[in-house]
Structures are given as C-alpha cells and as structure tokens.
Amino acid sequence: MLNFEKLVTNRTKALSKFIKSEYKCAIDIGCGTGADSIALTNNGLSVTGYDTSLKMIQKAKLNAKERSLKIRFSDSLVQSISSINHSKYDLVVSLGNAVANIHPVILKKIFRKVYKLLRPGGSFIIQILNYNSIRKTNKRIVNITRGKESLFIRFYDFEKNKLNFNVLKVNDNDFHDYNLITTELYEHKGNELKTLLSRAGFSGIKLYSDLNKSKFNSRLSKDLILTAVKLN
C-alpha cells in the first residue's frame, strides 16, 4: 500500500538494526514483490526470497533487475528447502503480515524448518498485524485509496471465528465495473506465536510494536513484531 521506493528505503533503515556484522545470508519468507529482499540486500546480505505466488516472484525479479541486484527468488515452499542447506543462514524474516495467510498447522512446520536453516546465533523476525487491537476496535474500513483510473476500498468482514480481508477495486468511470478479492486471515496472536517459536527450539523471544523496537501493547499497537534466536 506504500510507494515501493519509500517502502524499500524505510525497510533498509529499519532492518539494519537487526543485522549483526557477522551476518551474511538471509531468507525472506512471503517476499511478495521483493521490497524486503531488496532492503536486506542493501544491507550487504546475500538473499533468497520465497513466495507461493508466481506473479509476485516475477515482479520481485523485475524489481531486483531494475536495481542491478542479484537476488534469488523462488515460488517454492520454504518447507521444501533441502536439508543440505540446514544451518547455512544467519537471518530469516517474514514481514508484511505474510504469516497471517498461513494455517497454524503449516506455520508450526515452517517455524521448525526455519530453526534448522539458521546457523547458531541466527535470528528470525516476524511482522504481523495485532489482531487483538483489530478485533477490539472492530473497524471494518482499513482505507480508501485512488489509482489512475480506479478506487480501492480495503475492508474486513468480522465473524466470530473468522476474519476476511477484502480489496474492492472500482472503475472510476463506471461503478458497475468492479472486482472484489477476499482473503481469509489467520489471527495469530503474540502468545500463540511465542509458544510455536519456543517449541521449535528458539530462545530469547521478544515482542515489539514496530521495527524500531518500541514496546508492544496488545490493546493499542497496530503491529506485532517478534524476534527469536537460535542459540545452538
């Protein structure tokens, strides 16, 4: 939803706070169009980005090529990475609410895989919306933005045990011409994610409200950031 260049600039600066001098290789889970992968590369890391959407991967490759950056992108599942790559990475990130698209059973497997992929001392960073706050405010409309010829309305459908995120695209010149995309979100909470990380083997798990490491408030924070470390 942000201008791509602005997003890359902001992410490059924010992620620099989490990158240790000895870090060399990183994985970006749910890389989308590549903003975070580019930001990690700007910080001197060798990056592989994963996303299950081939169209997203194609756009990510184009964005990297336009910036003359060598980034490997794959539309395969991160769980399928060969065991020969275990303990080869220093940092794994999953930002932009990507984990909200993943069923808890699959997420459990991904966390275990990430633990195996990291070197001792490696870190895992997760960013997800704070669904405690979203449920509390019960605000359906996320935002309304205008493109060149279209109006975009982003909104939630709240149900007791289900949350849908919708994007309604309406033609500016003909309101009868519209397209609605609906995605079911999994409302992973802080304690749930912390438990899954701990059971996967991670230690030093911390919760923040943003990438500036501000204190997390379950009722008020817009985002939830979790960081975890593989000690051995």
Q: Which CATH number characterizes residue 43's domain?
A: 3.40.50.150
- Residues 18, 102 within the same domain: yes
By residue range, what is the domain housing residue 176? 132-185
Q: pTM score, two decimals?
A: 0.92
- Residues 170, 86 within the same domain: no
- Which strands form 141-146's sheet, in the order they lie side by side? 141-146, 150-159, 162-171, 174-185
pLDDT at 147: 86
- Two tokens at 219? 């009722």
- Residues 127, 155 within the same domain: no
198 phi and psi angles, rounded to 5 deg: -60, -45
pLDDT at 83: 87
Mean pLDDT of 202-225: 96
Is 193:206 a contact under the CB 8 Å cutoff? no
- Two tokens at 88? 């080869």
- Residues 125, 93 within the same domain: yes
- Residues 57, 88 within the same domain: yes
- Residues 107, 46 within the same domain: yes
Q: Where residue 19 falls among pLDDT bands split at 50, 70, 90? A: very high
Q: Where residue 2 falls among pLDDT bands split at 50, 70, 90? A: low
Question: Is 215 buried (19+), middle (13-18) or exposed (0-12) by CB count in 10 A?
Answer: exposed
- Residues 221, 145 within the same domain: no
pLDDT at 232: 81
- Residues 216, 111 within the same domain: yes
- Residues 117, 137 within the same domain: no
- The residue among 151, 166, 185 that closes a domain is 185
* % of the chain residues with pLDDT over 90: 90
Give, for 190, the enclosing helix (H) or strand (E).
Answer: helix 190-200
- Residues 150, 210 within the same domain: no
pLDDT at 103: 94
Is 66 strand, coil or helix?
Answer: helix
Q: Report whether pLDDT(1) > 70.
A: no
Total of domains in the chain? 2
- Residues 113, 220 within the same domain: yes
Instruction: Name the DSSP class of 102.
Output: S
Is 219 strand, coil or helix?
Answer: coil
- Residues 150, 119 within the same domain: no
Taking CA atoms, 195 is separated from 32, 102, 112, 199, in Å, by 26, 16, 12, 6
- Two tokens at 50? 């994963």
